[in-house]
Structure 1
Amino acid sequence: MELLTPRLHLREFKEDDWHFTNLYESEEEVMRYQTAEVRNSKESLEYIKVCLEEAKEYPRTLFDLAIVLKTTSMLIGRVGMKVDYDAEEAVLWYILNRTYWNKGYTSEAAAALMKYGFEELHLHRIWADCDPRNVGSYKIMEKLGMRREAHFKENIFIKGQWCDSYVYAILDHEWRQRNSS
């Protein structure tokens, strides 16, 4: 699977991409609000292997794609969705190398994957969640046209502490209306 945007190439991971994913997965600041801990090289490789195996399933439910800059072919992050076909919805996520933060790459990649979800997979709803302290993440969700549906108090225990969660979502007809204008 491949998706192209004006600046990005979203593609399946290759096993040796762990060299690039570990650049950000080994950084405390990048992994701060992730459920996963900072990863070593072996853990980054294992994560990619799991993604590659899950991508072979039919029907495919996991879409975890490398975000690659077209100009330099540099892998700078990942964007993904886990689809629940029975509910006609998917959960969206993203993570980016800190060097490339605040340049619009994450929202560009996520928008392309959302378009695929609504147009090709015929999903009814796409949602995402984040820690409310992760302002950058929920600003991306808002930029994508998602609306805040919930603020859960201390609903998840991550890295030794109870954390809140914001839940954002967008429905298919909201997405179509937003993208038709």
Structure 2
Amino acid sequence: MLRPDYPIRTERLTLRPFAAGDLDDLHALTGDPQVVRYLYWEVHTPEETREALARRMGQDALTEEGQWLVLAMDLDGRVIGQVVLKWASRVHRQGELGFVLNPAFHGRGYAREAAEAMLRLAFEGLGLHRVYGACDTRNEGSWRLLERLGMRREAHFVEDELFKGEFGDQYIYAVLAREWRARQAISSR
């Protein structure tokens, strides 16, 4: 079980549960075709974003496997993205990492900062053994970020899913707790 102490502060971001006042910033994500291109949802209407926000507001803890922890990436009071951790398996101590960032903030290290904090929660807070991330092979920004986080490419699934009307390829990346701890020890020197 994981109930983080909020807010979680990184160098430049505040990671926190979504709140009712985040509707416009969230719609900037969910309503942007560029953002949702490689995600499982389509562009949201304002009403669909309102419903999505209500769901996210309740995803602030992991109490059983299968749940998602969904946190807003807050930069000076503006939500610029979200970072997520799924508790995929209690028995196998597995989790899944994900992130979505407003394109206006790409290339500045915000997603990496948030994802590193989420990996810390996964390994130190939840006691996971392995965290993986999946992305469309065409989503170079995402798979490059997974590599910068110290994750290794474990699989390349070819046309494994019918995704938005076409079969697509998918990469799977992962990192083990011991690998993550070794990387943290090196970076703290």
Give the TM-score taking structure 1 as reference length: 0.94
Question: Is contact 1:141–1:168 with CA below 8 Å preserved after alignment?
Answer: yes
Selected match of 2:166 from 143, 156, 161: 161
How far is the alpha carbon of 1:16 from its aligned partner?
A: 2.9
SS class of match (1:152): strand
Query: Which of 97, 102, 105 is matched with 1:92 structurally?
Result: 97
- Give the one of 121, 125, 128 matched to 1:120: 125
1:63 maps to 2:50: no
Structure 2 residue matching 1:23: 3-state secondary structure: helix
Partner of 1:74: 78
Q: Residue 150 of structure 1 corresponds to which residue in structure 2?
A: 155
Distance 1:126 1:169 in 2: 6
Gaps of 5+ in 2: 1-5
Query: Secondary structure of 1:106's match?
Result: helix
The structure-2 alpha-carbon separation of the partners of 1:7 and 1:54, relative to structure 1 and needing over 3 Å to count, comes to closer
Aligned counterparts of 1:129 and 1:73: Cα–Cα separation in 2 = 29
Candidates 90, 108, 133, aligned match of 2:113: 108
Corresponding residue number in structure 1 for 2:7: 2
**Secondary structure at the counterpart of residue 103 of structure 1:** coil
1:69-111 Cα distance to aligned partner (Å, 9 max, x none):
1xx3211000001103222111111001110001100011000
- 2-side partners of 1:75 and 1:117: how far apart? 22
2:63 corresponds to which letter in structure 1?
Y
Contact 1:2 1:10 in 2 (8 A): yes
AA matched with 1:66: A
Superposed displacement of residue 2, structure 1: 2.7
Residue aligned with 2:39, SS: coil
Count of aligned pairs between the two proteins: 179
Aligned amino acid, residue 39 of structure 2: Q
**RMSD value, Cα:** 1.5
Kept in 2, the 8 Å contact 1:16–1:45? The answer is no
Cα distance in structure 2, aligned partners of 1:24 and 1:120: 28
Summarize deviations over 1:131-156 as a string: whole Å, max 9, x none.
Answer: 11100000100000000000001111
What letter matches 1:82 in structure 2? K
TM-fit CA distance, 1:54: 4.3
Matched, 1:135 2:140: yes
Where does structure 1 lack aligned partners over 5 or more consecutive residues? none
3-state secondary structure, aligned to 2:154: strand
So what's the TM-score if we normalise by structure 2? Answer: 0.90
What amino acid sits opposite 1:132 in the alignment?
T
Structure 1 contact 147–170 (Cα < 8 Å) conserved:
yes
Q: Percent identity?
A: 36
Q: Could you say which residue in structure 2 is the equivalent of 1:41?
A: 46
